[in-house]
Amino acid sequence: MFLLGNGLKIISSGPVFVSGDVREYTLTLFLREVRSLVEDMARHIVEDPSCIDQAHHPHHEQLIREAQAILDEGGWSPLFFMIDKSYAEHGAILSVWPNMIIRLCQFHVIQAILRWQTENGAPEPGWPRLKRTAKYLLLWSFRRLQRARDEKSWENELQIFIERLKHIVPASSFSAVLNYFETNWFSETWRDLWTDIGLPRGHNRDRISTNNFTERAFKKFDEIFLENQANKSHPKKKDEVYYQTALQGHQLWNSGRAIINDSVDKEGRRVFQVLSEI
């Protein structure tokens, strides 16, 4: 699941890749096509700003500026990508943008560590069951290790992490746990994707650190367009009332008749206004 960190999230309607053939080759084709579509849209906006949907009127000037920036820079390059731990996604992104900054989703990293998940996703049997306090200390130590910004600070923070690890996990499990981190997180492929190494000055991986909201958006796509039927041996039973409500909401949003009001309701939720009936 990709999360694109970019300034054109409003312009793009959110391209979705749905396929049972999720390989580096197919993902590369998808990303190249998305890049081409965004660049074509940028040219169209600069040449004819009236093409911007009225629903995006509050962002009209911003969209024109950012479309012009794409043309001035000679192409579209997102600020960064956020992915789960996927070799296919990693390779595809670098095939299209060789110098792209890629971040691993912090939520999935922490989740994998707590479950002792390996490169294959499944935890190996016999791993130590840590008490809550030990889990907290392990994750705190790991997050301190994330603050390494270069090779020198990495070596210093790594030695501190190893010393802390000796006091967190049982002595009988120390070698296995250290090997787990060395194999799954300290490797050349993944280390620089969850530490601060390589990030621009002033940035760290504690900022936008999860792609969960992107996955929630895909869940909505699954519900509305795929009706929870795709790639499932046992599809969910559809709640007709919920489905129709969600479908009507999507149709309303897609019509361009719903715009965001600056106010919020009593529960702090954003308020939308409907310009007219569909």
The pLDDT score that the predictor gives to residue 3 is 47
The pLDDT score that the predictor gives to residue 7 is 31
- The helix/strand/coil state of 63 is helix
Residue 98 backbone phi and psi in degrees, to 5: -55, -30
Residue 10 backbone phi and psi in degrees, to 5: -80, -35
Q: How many residues does the chain have?
A: 278
| b/e map 83-112, b = 16+ CB within 10 Å | bbbbeebbebbebbbeeebbbbbbebbbeb
Asked if residue 11 lies in contact with residue 66, where contact means CB atoms within 8 angstroms, the answer is yes
Q: What confidence tier does 10 reach under pLDDT thresholds 50, 70, 90?
A: very low
Nearest to 113 by CA among 67, 71, 33, 168: 168
User: Could you tell me which residues come within 8 angstroms of residue 142 by beta carbon, excluding any fewer than 6 positions away?
Assistant: 110, 113, 161
Q: Decide if pLDDT at 213 tops 60.
A: no
Could you give the CA distance from residue 247 to residue 228 in angstroms, rounded to a whole number? Answer: 13
Could you give the CA distance from residue 147 to residue 135 in angstroms, rounded to a whole number? Answer: 19
Q: What confidence tier does 6 reach under pLDDT thresholds 50, 70, 90?
A: very low
Domain ranges of the chain: 18-105+243-261, 107-198
The model's pLDDT over 87-104, given as tens digits with 9 standing for 90+, comes to: 999 999 999 999 998 888
The pLDDT score that the predictor gives to residue 107 is 84
Of 36-40, 151-155, 159-163, 223-227, give the lowest mean pLDDT range: 223-227
The pLDDT score that the predictor gives to residue 210 is 58
Residue 16's H or E segment, with its range, is none
Could you give the CA distance from residue 236 to residue 232 in angstroms, rounded to a whole number? Answer: 9
Residue entry with tokens 């990293």? 109
Provide the mean pLDDT of the chain: 80
The model's pLDDT over 125-152, given as tens digits with 9 standing for 90+, comes to: 678 888 899 999 999 999 999 999 999 9
Mean local confidence (pLDDT), 48-65: 86
Statement: the pTM of the whole predicted model exceeds 0.75: no
